[in-house]
Amino acid sequence: MSTVSETTHDSAVALTVPSSPDDGLPAAELARKYGLAVSGARPSLAEYARQLWERRHFIVAFSRAKLTAQYSQAKLGQVWQVATPLLNAVVYYFIFGVMMDQKRSLPTNTYIPFLVTGVFVFTFTQSSAMAGVRAIAGNLGLVRALHFPRAALPISFALQQLQQLLYSMVVLALVLVACGHMPSMAWLMIVPVLALQFLFNTGLALILARAGSKTPDLAQLLPFLLRTWMYASGVMYSLVDNLKRTHASQWVIDLLGANPAAVYIDLMRYALIDDYGAKHLPPHVWLLAVGWAVVIGVGGFVYFWKAEEKYGRG
């Protein structure tokens, strides 16, 4: 210490201190001595989860802000939150209910809520996937300007879609009552179903966010994949009944019935519609619902974390 004092003057010291115990120390050791870390390195999974938890207020606030900003340029504003899903349901009813007459296997007052439930529940997954694929690529400014765990973005977008779905659920409840399906205790079952589907959607958004940040072309391709998925999930018609009618083999029925979107849609219909009985559900339906949610939810988080240091680069 005293060796330093002899040569220091008060102004230019910070730059020209001639001898310090650190002199000649290799950079790596100097860094270790003062606890410096390699810039942009990825934290451990536990540390990452902790950082993410610290940003929970950001995640919630960001999803709300995006939700309200969504229709801020429209004159009707927030009315579109409810009007969009309603119009969607009307269009699908016109095409599949009236023109293609899919409703012959179900009575009309069952077919309408059947269709509306399917459309809303699938839209929840579909829009989470679409938002996820652009979560990083579409927010590069934010990613490059501020430091936060990047998983906050896809999670926030999935949360935004959940809030959007809650608006749709109000429409759905009205449709149900209008078709003579009165609220019952079975309706409470939608809470665990929605929770599981949200976990699944979040995992899906995380996976697509990583893929989309590396290959932005995916945003162009995804709508086609999602549309194919929608037709394979029995949104507008009863998938199992239709397959049985065409004498498809049992493994095809089981395979398509185990598709996560179909599982969540069928569980929701089972909960909400009186005469949509358990015979429409695939075997082990709850196991499938939990399994998909845990595998995609946890797997997606780990997969996203693996590339944490690469987002927003280049």
Partner 1 sequence: MAEQIIPQGAERVPTVIAEDVHIVYRVYGGNTGRGSATAALNRIVRRQPSAGAREVHAVKGVSFTAYRGQAIGLIGSNGSGKSTLLKAIAGLLPTERGKVYTDGQPSLLGVNAALMNDLTGEKNVMLGGLAMGMSREQIRERYQDIVDFSGINEKGDFITLPMRTYSSGMAARLRFSIAAAKDHDVLMIDEALATGDRAFQKRSEERIRELRKEAGTVFLVSHNNKSIRDTCDRVLWLERGELLMDGPTDEVVRAYEKETAR
Place of tokens 């239709």: 242
The smaller minimum CB distance to partner 1, of residues 5 and 249, is found at 5
Say which residue the tokens 């459309």 belong to: 119
Residues 172, 112 contacting (CB under 8 angstroms): no
Residue among 43 and 192 whose Cβ is closer to partner 1:
43
* Cα–Cα distance for residue pair 70/173, rounded to 1 Å: 24
Give the C-alpha separation, 164 to 124, whole Å.
8
**Least distance between partner 1 and beta carbon 152 (Å):** 7
Tell me how far, at minimum, the Cβ of 216 lies from partner 1, in Å: 12
CB of 296 to partner 1, least distance (A): 26
Separation between Cα atoms, residue 52 and residue 308, nearest integer Å: 12
Min CB(232)–partner 1 separation in Å: 28
CA–CA–CA angle 311, 69, 128 (5° rounding)? 50
Of the pair 38, 46, the CB lying nearest partner 1 is at: 38
Give me the least distance between CB of 75 and partner 1, in Å please: 15
Give the integer Cα–Cα distance in Å for 250 and 243.
Answer: 9
Closest alpha carbon to 162 in 136, 112, 135, 196: 196
Q: Shortest gap between Cβ of 81 and partner 1 (angstroms)?
A: 16
Task: Name the residues that contact partner 1, by CB under 8 A.
Answer: 1-2, 4-5, 8, 10, 12-17, 20, 22, 27-28, 30-31, 34-41, 54-55, 57-58, 61-62, 65, 69, 72-73, 141-142, 144-148, 152, 309-310, 312-314
53-68 residues labelled b (16+ CB within 10 A) or e (exposed): eebeebbeebbeebbe
Q: Which is nearer to partner 1, 150 or 280 (CB)?
A: 150
Nearer to partner 1, 135 or 263 (CB): 135
What one-character-per-residue DSSP string does 266-280 give? HHHHHHH-TT--GGG
Residue 162 near residue 124 (C-beta atoms within 8 A): yes
Residue with tokens 């974390």, as numbered in its chain: 305
Q: Which is nearer to partner 1, 19 or 184 (CB)?
A: 19
Cβ 53 to partner 1 shortest distance, Å: 11
CB of 279 vs partner 1, minimal distance in Å = 47
Choose between 70 and 88: whose C-beta lies nearer to partner 1: 70
Cβ(125)–Cβ(288) below 8 Å: no
Of 16 and 184, CB closest to partner 1: 16
Amino acid at 173: A
Q: What size, in residues, is the chain?
A: 314
